[in-house]
Homo-oligomer: A and B are copies of this chain.
Amino acid sequence: VDRAACERADADDPLAGHRDRIALPSGVIYLDGNSLGPLHRDVAERVRQVVEVEWGEGLITSWNASALRPGWVDLPARVAAKLAPWVGADADEIAVVDSTSVDVFKALAAACRLRPDRRVILTDDANFPTDIYVARGLAELLGDREVRVVPTLEVADHLDDDVAVLTLTHVDYRTGRRHDAAGLTAAAHDVGALTVWDLSHSTGALAVDLHAWSADLAVGCTYKYLDGGPGSPAFIYVARRWHDRASTPLQGWFGHEHPFAFAPDYEPAAGAARFLDGTPPVLSLSALDAALGLRADVDPETAEAKARWLTSLFVERVDARLDDEVEVVTPRDPTQRGAQVSLRHPQARAVMSALIERGVIGDHRPPDLLRFGFSPLVVRSVDVFDAVEVLAEVLGTRAWDTPEHRAPRTVT
C-alpha cells in the first residue's frame, strides 16, 4: 500500500464527513483517540450555548423542560438513548452517570447481590488497574468476597461454582487484545455466574452488541472513542432481564422515581435509570450529548470495519518500514483486537515524546509500550501512512535519545 492508495481509500471513506468536523490542530496526526477523543467544532458550540445561554440566562429554570429547550433533568436519559445503539442495548438499559470507576463499583455490587451465595469476583491480569482496585475495595467493604485475578488467556479455566461475577475489560488497554465476549459470557452463565464487561476500549470503535452477547451488566468510558471530552461521564448497562432485581448501593436522588418530590423514602426509578445517583455534571454531560449526536447516522459496523482497515494498514506499514526495532504486541488477526495497535520498544516513553514533538500523538504505557489508537471517525489512511514514516525517522535517527525526551512524563 503506497500513499496514493491511502489517499484513494480516504476519498472513498463513508466516514470522511465526520473527520471534517473535528477541530484538530494543523500538523497533528492524532492517534490517541483511544485515550481522549478530539474536539468536534459542534461540541464546542454546544458547550458555549449551555454555559452562556442555559446556565447564564436560564439559570435554575434550565432544569425544567420549556418551549425553548428540553430540561437538564432529562439530559442523562437523552444521552443514554443516543449511546444505546453503540453497545447494542435499549435506551432504558443504559444510565450515563459517574466515572467508569464508580460504575464498576455499582455494577459489581449489583452482581454480587444477585449471587449472594458465591464468594468470588473473577477477573484477569489484563484488566485496567482501576477495575481491579475497585473490585478489591468492594470485596473489603462486603467482607465475605474475594477478588481472584488470573492470567488473561486462562480466564475460562477459572470459572466454577464459587464465581459470583466475571468482570473483564473487553479490549486490553495495553495490548489491544479483544476477549471473546460472547463466548466468555456463555461460559460464565454455564457455571451460574454473571458478567460485568468494561467496554471503555471498545465503545465507539467496535460494533459492541450486548444483547447478542447475553451480557448481564457492563460499564464504559465515553471520553475515548465517543469523543465526549476530558472526563465526560461513564455509562452502566443493566440487561432488561435484571431490571426487576438489580439494585445499586448508591441510592441517590437522581435514581429516584420522583427526585423532586423530596420523598423521605427511596423508590428506585424503572430500568437502568435507578443507577443514576447525584446531580449530573451538566457541562461535561452536554459535551457528550453533542458528540453522540454527531454520530447518530453512523453504523457501528461501519466504524468497526474502518478500525479493522486502519489497524491492518498500520501493522502492514510497520512491518514494511521498521524491521525488528519494534515488536507488534497486538494480535495480527483483526477479529482478535480493538482499534489500537501497541508496539514494544525499550525506550517507549522517549520515543513517544519525540513523536509528539513531530506532531504524531499517541501515548505510552509503562514499561515499554508505544500505543496508537485508530479512532475510525478521526483517523485517515494517510495519517496512518505518514505516522509510520515519522516513526521510522525517529527510530532511524535515534531522535528520541535526548535528555528532554527521556525526562519523565505523567500521562502521554
Contacts and interface: CB of A to CB of B under 8 A. Distances in A.
Interface of A: 23, 25, 28, 30, 32, 35-36, 38-39, 43-44, 47-48, 51-52, 54-57, 59-65, 71-73, 98-102, 105, 109, 125, 129-130, 132-134, 136-138, 140-142, 149, 221, 223, 229-234, 247-254, 256, 260-264, 266, 277-285, 287, 356, 361, 363, 365-366, 409-412
B55 A141 contact: no
Contact of A44 (B38, B56, B138): B56
20 contacts: A36-B59, A38-B59, A39-B56, A54-B230, A55-B229, A55-B230, A61-B361, A63-B230, A64-B412, A73-B410, A99-B252, A101-B279, A105-B249, A125-B264, A129-B256, A130-B252, A149-B264, A229-B282, A234-B278, A283-B284
Nearest to A38: B59
CB-CB nearest 8 A-B residue pairs: A99-B278, A101-B252, A101-B278, A137-B251, A230-B282, A130-B253, A281-B284, A63-B411
How many copies, total? 2
Given A109-B141, A138-B249, A51 B39 contact: yes
B35 A60 contact: yes
Given A39-B55, A281-B232, A71 B249 contact: no
Contacts of A47: 47, 51, 283
A187 to B, nearest CB: 24
Given A62-B230, A230-B283, A251 B136 contact: yes
Contacts of A60: 32, 35-36, 361, 363, 411-412
A349 to B, nearest CB: 11
Contacts of A252: 99, 101-102, 130, 133-134
Contacts of A280: 99, 231
Given A64-B410, A283-B47, A59 B32 contact: yes
A250 B361 contact: no
Given A61-B412, A101-B250, A231 B281 contact: yes
Contacts of A248: 137
A249 B141 contact: yes
B230 A260 contact: no
Nearest to A58: B25
B409 A250 contact: no
Contacts of A278: 98-102, 130, 234
A71 B410 contact: yes
Contacts of A282: 229-231, 284
Given A47-B47, A277-B101, A412 B63 contact: yes
